[in-house]
Amino acid sequence: MKALMCNEFGPIENLKYEDVPDLEPGEGEVIIEVKAASVNFPDVLVVQNLYQFKPALPFAPGNEVAGVVSKLGEGVEGVSVGDRVFSSGGFGGFAQQYRAAATSVTKMPEAMPYDEAAALMMVYGTSHHALKQRAELKPGETLLVLGASGGVGLAAVELGKAMGATVIAATSSQEKVDYCLANGADKGFVYARNPLDRDQQKALSAQIKEATGGRGADVIYDPVGDDYAEPALRAIAWKGRYLVVGFAAGDIPKIPLNLALLKGCQIVGVFWGMFTGVEKALHEENVAELLEWYTAGKIKPRVSAHYPLKDGLQALRDMSDRKVKGKVVITP
Ligand SMILES: NC(=O)c1ccc[n+]([C@@H]2O[C@H](COP(=O)([O-])OP(=O)(O)OC[C@H]3O[C@@H](n4cnc5c(N)ncnc54)[C@H](OP(=O)(O)O)[C@@H]3O)[C@@H](O)[C@H]2O)c1
């Protein structure tokens, strides 16, 4: 089969489109013929050895696929050859075949296309867990989303609306703000591209205050970190919840803890991958709710571009160059 391989850690440009042996399932595993694999920011990090998990070399990045089950390992129950499924976790998605634990696959709703199935779980799973269990977002509250046109950001916008919040989208360009408004955000504004100087940081706090009528945001969803985090936290409402989701802008910020005291707020970590393992039953409830909302048309993965597997590197380039809107998908 063909795969986009990482043979040594380093720049994404080192990835090679090449032939590798077909996969066989181990006990409790299935092989999926991949129809679509979505790209997530951790794919950009993992090949550079900048992610919290380090796969054994060589490997294909890509941890979220949708396709058709083609082989079953020993002891697999509840999954059959020919099932249309999606799966996330692990590595190896940017390839024609993907090996998954049978327990990690979910059957696709009948009318769901493969690209949407591949683009659902990681971003909606993360943002749903963040807003529901970590922030306990309530109807009528204001939700500010940084990096709102990106994968987890746009999912947070849609889910925030589905949960009854007023959603404010903050991004680095007017085009991205317009994309968020077209996909459900109530308001939006443009922030400067990092590094932000002092005035740009103050301007970001002021924009959040202005968009919330001076109150500050009840919940702030932050997948970007770096220079954006502290000015955003300075504009959180009394008893607000600040969600630490990721650091796409580069550095992990260091926050003066007096801000938490002054705002009476919570700074709350979000680690969806860990949550899915440690709180399996709750995760399964979340998945069921997301599929229900998908079927009811409350949420819909926004796939803005498709790349053939041989051009998969370009998808990763576009993501690290901040060019992606919503989700992008690789189609072997
Ligand atoms: N905590 C968890 O469980 C969890 C789960 C999934 C993902 N994540 C993390 O969430 C973050 C976003 O992931 P994603 O898949 O949604 O990525 P994405 O689609 O690329 O979105 C990231 C957004 O960050 C902004 N950004 C700011 N500086 C950037 C830079 N230097 N390079 C790229 N983007 C930059 C961009 O928006 P603007 O241009 O508008 O600023 C971009 O749209 C990543 O750090 C990822 O590791 C965390």
- Percent pLDDT > 70 in the chain is 100
Q: pLDDT per residue over 47-69, tens digit each?
A: 999 998 899 999 999 999 999 99
Residue with tokens 């009840």: 218
Least Cα distance to 131 among 153, 160, 154 occurs for 160
- Confirm or reject: Cβ of 223 under 6 Å from ligand 1: yes
- Confirm or reject: Cβ of 25 under 6 Å from ligand 1: no
What pLDDT is stored for residue 90 in this prediction?
85
> How far is residue 244's CA from residue 212's CA, in Å, rounded to a whole number?
20
Q: How far apart are the first and last CA of the chain?
A: 10
Q: For ligand 1, what atom is nearest to the CA of residue 250?
A: 31
What pLDDT is stored for residue 240 in this prediction?
98
- Could you say which residues of the chain have pLDDT below 50? none
* C-alpha gyration radius of the chain: 20
Task: Give residue 50 CA to ligand 1 midpoint distance, Å.
Answer: 14
Residue nearest to atom 18 of ligand 1 (CA): 150
Which two structure tokens, joined as six digits, stand for 284? 């399964």
Alpha helical stretches, state H, the chain? 41-46, 114-118, 121-129, 151-162, 174-182, 198-211, 226-233, 258-263, 272-278, 280-295, 312-320
Angle, CA 297 vertex, CA 104 and CA 83 arms, to 5°: 35
Phi/psi zone of residue 289: left (φ > 0), alpha (ψ -120 to 50 degrees), beta?
alpha
Task: Kindly state the DSSP code that residue 91 receives in the 8-state scheme.
Answer: S
CA distance readout (Å), 219 to 145, 165, 298 = 9, 10, 21
Residue with tokens 């991949």: 34
* Structural domains of the chain, ranges and CATH numbers in brackets: 2-120+301-331 (3.90.180.10), 123-273 (3.40.50.720)
Residue nearest to atom 16 of ligand 1 (CA): 151
Q: How many helices (H) and strands (E) does the chain have?
A: 11, 15
- Confirm or reject: Cβ of 233 under 6 Å from ligand 1: no
- Percent pLDDT > 90 in the chain is 98
Residue nearest to atom 2 of ligand 1 (CA): 271
Task: Kindly state the DSSP code that residue 21 receives in the 8-state scheme.
Answer: P
Other C-beta atoms closer than 10 Å to the C-beta of 226 total 17
Pocket test for ligand 1, best of 245, 276, 283, 304 (most atoms within 8 A of CB): 245
Pocket test for ligand 1, best of 322, 328, 329 (most atoms within 8 A of CB): 322
Pocket test for ligand 1, best of 133, 144, 152, 189 (most atoms within 8 A of CB): 152
- The values of phi and psi at residue 57, to 5°, are -80, 150
Q: pLDDT per residue over 190-217, tens digit each?
A: 999 999 999 999 999 999 999 999 999 9
